[in-house]
């Protein structure tokens, strides 16, 4: 399938946690039936795909990333039939469905692990996981969940050996040296392909294989296995997206994006640089990161998240330099005191100190940069969080649908709810919810919808070439997106003060310029083109005429009616 034809090229992905999205059967837990009933909202909003965090049977010691059966649905969410109904309805609504696929580990309650611990040492069954008599093996691999674990090894009384777990002790790592493990996991891929899913978000891909003397991330054997996954997907002849979660710097995440490996990877370094730019009011480092991402992988294969169901991962200086982390710590006041393992455990709105201008600005960048923008459920409303909850639960609370009880998420009595809905000052679900914001033309929700409409109408934003332009102001980033038919110019002011600047548009001298969102005409392009951007302001302009269009104003007309 030619990349340009693939559904995911430039698609907008909406991430949601099914347990927290919508409760269809009134038991207090979101489910697939509830989600199906919200597809009309997602279609109205204008996203192309939904990514569901794990929906498999699980004891939920790590939000479902601890799986006991890869080929089934958690009973609280539904069953394979309700999944089939969801998929069919999503497809009829023109929405693709991406599943989380956890290759690296299982739950310790998975039958494979229970069998392994009782099996003789060194046997095929024991070796489905990674065992050792020495808890100092692979000592250079960092402990990832350092708030909860102090070692990557856990002693097992039954097995009388240590087992490896790169995440929680309830999540033993599978042993990919064992061909049986590889076959089983490829079988899992086949199982969901046959059911018609449109993509997989591959969880924790760097950690599949281990070796002494390094961080055990992205080893050659890991890439070789991922190529097998790709082959399986290609053999199915379906247009299925493989998207890597590798929290690594651009140059280490890029190797997953090979023609015979994965289609996309999250650019988590860019996420950190976006926050650092807002926090510091300077976009020099952000510009460099963008340039680097383009040099490494031209075209759009990066998935661009702002927030997700995890902490805002900043790392130990490996993902982004220490001074970038420091500028986030210094500039985003509501991040103070909310550090979990390696980053900030807050939702987008509070992280941005409750400023909707910053929400708009960062999403305006996401929606116009090359790649696949990822919108985290609730961020389209500026939903808040519950900082007192355990682990990453502060960011995983129920979606706010209406001002009614429980935010319209569930009809169950409060104590049964999966997590408490937000009633924090400034973020109360009685005000911050879909129903209320739909009715307010100037709401954040209606703004997101409008931006997504623009993006759909302007193919340059999805497929166009990306070029950074010279900016005469340190807080303003300027770039162009050019396709065969149109050119869109973007400028964004990352600072809390207004900025006026001169742009050199001599390359397009004399061309008509129109602001996209509201259709306002600007002076024709020339070498001294002056613009003013308010605090956290941004603009998208159409430069020149839209080629091959009967009516030159078609995109703008569609937006403005």
Q: Provide the binding-site residues for ligand NOJ, judged by CB under 6 A.
A: 62-63, 65, 102, 167, 203-204, 245, 309-310
Of residues 76 and 310, the one with the C-beta less far from ligand NOJ: 310
Evaluate whether 99 touches 52 at the Cβ level (below 8 Å): yes
CB atoms within 10 A of CB 553: 15
Of 53 and 327, which has the nearer Cβ to ligand NOJ? 53
Specify the pairing of strand 487-493 against strand 538-543. Answer: antiparallel
245 annotated active-site: yes
CA–CA gap between residue 362 and residue 347 (Å, rounded): 14
Chain center to CA of 435: 25
Residue with tokens 């109408």: 457
Nearer to ligand NOJ, 174 or 364 (CB): 174
Cα–Cα distance, 24 to 34 (Å, whole number) = 4
* CA nearest neighbour of 335 among 377, 288, 395: 395
Pick between residue 130 and residue 488 the one whose CB is nearest to ligand NOJ. Answer: 130
Classify residue 47 by its DSSP letter: -
Contact criterion met (CB below 8 Å) for 545 and 513: no
Residues 6 or more apart from 152 whose CB is under 8 A from it?
138, 141, 143, 164, 165, 166
**Tokens encoding 286:** 């952000």
Report the residue count for the chain.
561
Q: Specify the DSSP class assigned to residue 452.
A: H
**Alpha helix ranges (H) inside 250-378:** 250-253, 268-280, 284-296, 322-331, 348-351, 356-366
Task: Tokens 């979101």: give the residue.
Answer: 30
Nearest approach, Cβ of residue 431 and ligand NOJ (Å): 29
Q: Out of 23, 31, 203, 311, pick the active-site residue.
A: 203
Shortest spacing between CB 424 and ligand NOJ, in angstroms: 23
Q: Catalytic residue, from 23, 62, 66, 245: name it.
A: 245
Identity of the residue, 204 or 499, whose beta carbon is nearer to ligand NOJ in the bound complex: 204
Strands (DSSP E) contained in 495-559 are 499-503, 513-515, 521-522, 529-533, 538-543
* 203 carries an active-site annotation: yes
Q: What residues are paired with 174 via a beta bridge?
A: 129
Q: Shortest Cβ distance from residue 17 to ligand NOJ (Å)?
A: 10
Cβ proximity to ligand NOJ, 234 vs 316, nearer residue:
316
Query: In this complex, which beta carbon is closest to ligand NOJ, that of residue 315 or of residue 408?
Result: 315
For the bound state, the minimum distance from the C-beta of residue 66 to ligand NOJ, rounded and expressed in Å, comes to 7
Question: Would you call 213 exposed, middle or buried from its count of C-beta atoms within 10 A (0-12, 13-18, 19+)?
Answer: exposed
Residue 293, φ and ψ in degrees, nearest 5: -60, -35
In angstroms, what is the minimal distance from the CB of 102 to ligand NOJ?
6
Q: Least CB distance from residue 309 to ligand NOJ, whole Å?
A: 6
Q: Which residue is nearest to ligand NOJ (CB)?
A: 65
Catalytic residues: 203, 245
């Amino acid at each position: 399938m030619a990349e340009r034809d693939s559904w995911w090229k430039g698609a907008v992905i909406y991430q949601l946690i099914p347990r927290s999205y919508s409760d269809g059967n009134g038991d207090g837990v979101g489910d697939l039936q509830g989600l199906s009933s919200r597809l009309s909202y997602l279609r109205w909003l204008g996203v192309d795909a939904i990514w569901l965090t794990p929906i498999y049977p699980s004891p939920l010691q790590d939000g479902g990333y601890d799986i006991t059966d890869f080929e089934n649905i958690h009973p609280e969410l539904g069953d394979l039939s309700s999944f089939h109904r969801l998929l069919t309805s999503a497809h009829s609504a023109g929405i693709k469905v991406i599943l989380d696929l956890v290759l690296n580990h299982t739950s310790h309650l998975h039958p494979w692990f229970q069998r392994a611990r009782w099996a003789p040492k060194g046997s095929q069954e024991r070796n489905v996981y990674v065992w050792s008599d020495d808890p100092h093996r692979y000592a250079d691999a960092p402990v990832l969940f350092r708030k909860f674990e102090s070692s990557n090894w856990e002693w097992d009384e039954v097995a009388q050996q240590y087992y490896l777990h790169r995440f929680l002790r309830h999540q033993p790592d599978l042993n990919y040296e064992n061909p049986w493990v590889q076959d089983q996991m490829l079988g899992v891929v086949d199982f969901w392909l046959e059911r018609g899913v449109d993509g997989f978000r591959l969880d924790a891909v760097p950690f599949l294989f281990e070796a002494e003397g390094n961080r055990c991330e992205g080893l050659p054997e890991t890439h070789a296995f991922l190529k097998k996954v790709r082959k399986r997907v290609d053999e199915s002849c379906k247009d299925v997206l493989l998207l890597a979660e590798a929290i690594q710097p651009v140059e280490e995440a890029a190797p997953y994006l090979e023609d015979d490996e994965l289609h996309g990877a999250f650019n988590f370094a860019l996420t950190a640089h976006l926050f650092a730019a807002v926090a510091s009011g300077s976009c020099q480092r952000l510009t460099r990161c963008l340039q680097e991402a383009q040099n490494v992988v031209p075209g759009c294969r990066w998935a661009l998240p702002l927030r997700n169901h995890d902490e805002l991962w900043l790392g130990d200086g490996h993902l982004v330099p220490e001074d970038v982390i420091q500028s986030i710590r210094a500039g985003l006041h509501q991040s103070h005191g909310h550090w979990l393992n390696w980053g900030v455990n807050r939702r987008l709105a509070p992280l941005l100190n409750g400023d909707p201008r910053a929400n708009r600005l960062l999403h305006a960048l996401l929606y116009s940069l090359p790649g696949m923008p990822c919108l985290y459920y609730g961020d389209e409303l500026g939903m808040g969080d519950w900082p007192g909850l355990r682990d990453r639960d502060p960011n995983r609370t129920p979606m706010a649908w209406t001002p009614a009880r429980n935010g319209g998420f569930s009809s169950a009595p409060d104590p049964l709810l999966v997590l408490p809905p937000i009633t924090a000052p400034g973020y109360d679900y009685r005000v911050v919810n879909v129903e209320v914001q739909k009715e307010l033309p100037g709401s954040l929700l209606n703004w997101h919808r409008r931006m997504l409409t623009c993006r759909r109408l302007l193919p340059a934003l999805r497929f166009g070439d990306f070029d950074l332009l010279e900016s005469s102001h340190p807080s303003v980033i300027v770039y162009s997106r050019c396709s065969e038919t149109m050119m869109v110019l973007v400028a964004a002011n990352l600072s809390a003060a207004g900025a006026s600047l001169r742009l050199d548009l001599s390359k397009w001298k004399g061309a008509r310029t129109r602001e996209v969102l509201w259709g306002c005409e600007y002076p024709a392009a020339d070498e001294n083109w002056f613009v003013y951007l308010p605090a956290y302001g941004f603009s998208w302009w159409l430069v020149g005429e839209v080629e091959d269009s009967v009516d030159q104003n078609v995109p703008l007309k569609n937006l403005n009616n």
